[in-house]
Amino acid sequence: MRPAILASFVLGLISTAHAQELKWFKGNTHTHSLWSDGNDFPEMITDWYKQHGYDFLAISDHNVLQAKEVWMSVPAIEKRRKSLGKTTMEKYRARFGDEWVTTREKDGVTEVRLKKLEEYRPKFEEPGKFLIVQAEEISAGLGSVPIHMNAVNLKEEIKPVKDLGSIPEVMRANLRLVNEQSKRLGVPMLTHINHPNFRWALSAEDLASVLEENFWEIYNGHPGINWQGDESRPGHEKIWDIANTLRITEFKAQPLYGVGTDDSHRYHGEDNGPGRGWVMVRASKLNTDEIVKAMQAGDFYASSGVTLDDISHFKDGTLRIRIHAEPGVTYSTQIRGTLRGYDATTRPAPAVKGDLHPARLLYSDDVGKTLATIEGTEVTWKPSGQEMYFRAVITSSKPYDKPSFEGQTEMAWTQPMGWRK
Ligand SMILES: [Zn+2]
Ligand SMILES: [Zn+2]
């Protein structure tokens, strides 16, 4: 008897059918530099990511591509650094040499020219080892409500469309610009809606209703984005479950896929630094088209520290996850999902003074219900067949470096499964 081997033949793998040829690639798609409100040069930032085991990076400055001539005054650069020690310019010169740095004097002030992506790209990119993807954080809004979305693998700068009739309309108008560009140029592009709870801007219903979008940030490492929510406004976990449930039931659409990002702005030891959230993408090759296509197919997970060695989804619906064990760390996996016949009642959330968004709805615990909790590094779970979708959230016991909220530990999130009928 060889039941284990027999079982794997009988069940057959769906998502890892070509596991032999596929590899995991680590990347971050949300980063800021001096080109907008970050506090370091893109070369310094790219160097950090490459040195820290990332396979790809997208620097996504607000409403700008690093593709034109821009000069910045040195005092303005140094003012952004909130830490002691060597200056930003000293570190930049030390790393890349005086001959790399272009300065000029203007009205008695030293200015430095920010290098364009195409100038510094050859310094870092290596086939199969490191890839730079062009991106922009399209930073639109409705009045004072920030509506931010990242366009990854963008080729032409997009000027955001703002102040249309509603939040979803603003989202749609900007997403259409990316889709139009992608089609016109024949280049795959990916967008993700960013930090919905930043200034409590977007609701789960907003995310659910904009069917032009299939991605959002389940995790964003910026400490100011209200990841946990509050009693009137759902946190990221619940937002995802509400949006997924509404998409499947009301909009007959696919659930959202969740990315993990840094949204880093500070690179001199401050709180909002790099290395806080990322995606692991399973693709055949490290090139932009393959990465974007794998993400569009949902073959990736989001992480704020936990690494998964494998995610398999069998034909009978069984999910199997192998968690990469770190010594002395324990892991707990929560399977969350919404079942058919769930309690769909809602109630209005308590009003919050000064909230920019119309009052939200609160949903029952059936939306994103905990279907199972599994301890350890080997997770196998078989759905009952009543799930409209399910997903796995892995929480480790390892405290998060520079936490965004009290008690934060490292986590990982798989994409919603079981919804493709
Ligand atoms: Zn933003
Ligand atoms: Zn950002």
Instruction: Sketch the domain layout of the chain as residue ranges.
Output: 12-68+116-413, 69-115
Ligand 2 geometric centre to CA of 223 (Å): 12
**Exposure on the CB side of residue 338, measured as CA atoms within 13 A:** 27
**Amino acid identity at 51:** Q
Could you tell me the distance, in angstroms and rounded to a whole number, from the CA of residue 248 to the centre of ligand 2?
Answer: 29
pLDDT band of residue 200 (cuts 50, 70, 90) is very high
State in Å: Cα 263 to ligand 2 middle.
5
Cβ neighbours for 94, distance < 8 A, ≥ 6 positions apart: 86
Q: Can you tell me the mean pLDDT for 310-325?
A: 96
- Reported as a pLDDT band with limits 50, 70 and 90, residue 20 is low
What is the 36 CA–ligand 2 centroid distance (Å)?
Answer: 10
Rounded distance, CA 223 to CA 362, Å?
24
274 Cα: distance to centroid of ligand 1 (angstroms): 15
DSSP 300: E
| 356 touches 200 (CB < 8 A) | yes
Question: How distant is the alpha carbon of residue 8 from its chain centre?
Answer: 33
Q: Residue 310: name the closest of 378, 261, 258 by CA.
A: 378
pLDDT for position 83: 80
Q: Which two tokens stand for residue 373?
A: 């909790």
The span from the CA of 317 to the CA of 46, in Å, is 40
Joined together, the tokens standing for residue 153 give 């693998």
pLDDT at residue 295 tops 60: yes
**In DSSP terms, which residues pair with 190 in a beta bridge?**
152
User: Residue 358 — pLDDT band, cuts 50, 70, 90?
Assistant: confident
Cα of 401 vs centre of ligand 1, distance in Å, is 22
User: In this structure, which residues have their CB less than 5 angstroms from ion ligand 2?
Assistant: 137, 263
What's the pLDDT score for residue 355? 92
Report whether 115 contacts 96 (CB < 8 A).
Answer: no
Residue 359 pLDDT class (50, 70, 90 cuts): confident
- CATH classification number, 12-68+116-413, choose in 3.20.20.140, 3.50.50.60, 3.30.565.10, 3.40.309.10: 3.20.20.140
Report whether 117 contacts 65 (CB < 8 A).
Answer: yes
Which ligand neighbours the alpha carbon of 221 most closely? 2
pTM (2 d.p.): 0.94
- Cα R_g (the chain), whole angstroms: 22
Give tens-digit pLDDT for 120-170. Answer: 999 999 999 999 999 999 999 999 999 999 999 999 999 999 999 999 999
CA 45 – ligand 2 centroid, Å? 14
